[in-house]
Amino acid sequence: MDYQKLSKELSYALRHAPHEYELELDEQGWVPIKQLLLSLHEQRKWRAVTEEDLHTMIALSEKKRHEINQGKIRALYGHSVTQKIQKEEKEPPAHLFHGTPQRFLDSILASGLVPKGRQYVHLSEDVQTAQQVGKRRDDHPVLLRIDARQAWQDGVKFYHGNELVWLADHVQKEYISVY
């Protein structure tokens, strides 16, 4: 079983295209595992996938992208579906980080961080994670530091993604500096 491919397929289904899999996300993005498996089994390459494989996939992944609880599974972040996924609001650490390609810097410093194609802006708890996120699109990404505590005190909402990923609706430019 190629667990990395399975993880990518699930991220696509649970973040972006549940209807292609005849799935309905609930308000927090959960779907019943039984329904997901029924849908995956229609594809030849996934006809033997079991619930056990989903647990193994999560355990083997270098990032915590998916979560299983009481017979359901969800993507923890990254959604682009039109139905807004409700995330748990949480007080952030004093600083958060964001890695981005050089070419986006001027625009971000002018208008802040906006979610673009996803539902939320994605922020990293540590510099190393931000670096990895930025490197997806630029060998020498820019690292931004977000004054999350100040933003939180000013009423900006932050949400929990996983241990390393935080979400926000929009981060205004006054809280952003080049790290």
Residues forming contacts to ligand HQG in the complex (CB under 6 A) are 63, 65, 78, 100, 104, 107-108, 111, 113-114, 116-118, 122, 133, 165
**Please, where are the H alpha helices in 42-104?**
51-60
Q: Which is nearer to ligand HQG, 39 or 132 (CB)?
A: 132
Q: Which is nearer to ligand HQG, 65 or 87 (CB)?
A: 65
Positive or negative torsion for Cα 75, 76, 78, 79: positive
Neighbours of 37 (CB within 10 A): 16
State the helix-helix crossing angle for 51-60 and 3-11, rounded to 10 degrees. Answer: 100
Shortest Cβ distance from residue 120 to ligand HQG (Å)? 9
φ, ψ dihedrals at 76, nearest 5°: -85, -20
Q: Which of 82, 102, 58, 90 is nearest to 159 (CA)?
A: 90
Shortest Cβ distance from residue 92 to ligand HQG (Å)? 15
Shortest Cβ distance from residue 118 to ligand HQG (Å)? 4
Shortest Cβ distance from residue 170 to ligand HQG (Å)? 9
Q: Which is nearer to ligand HQG, 36 or 165 (CB)?
A: 165
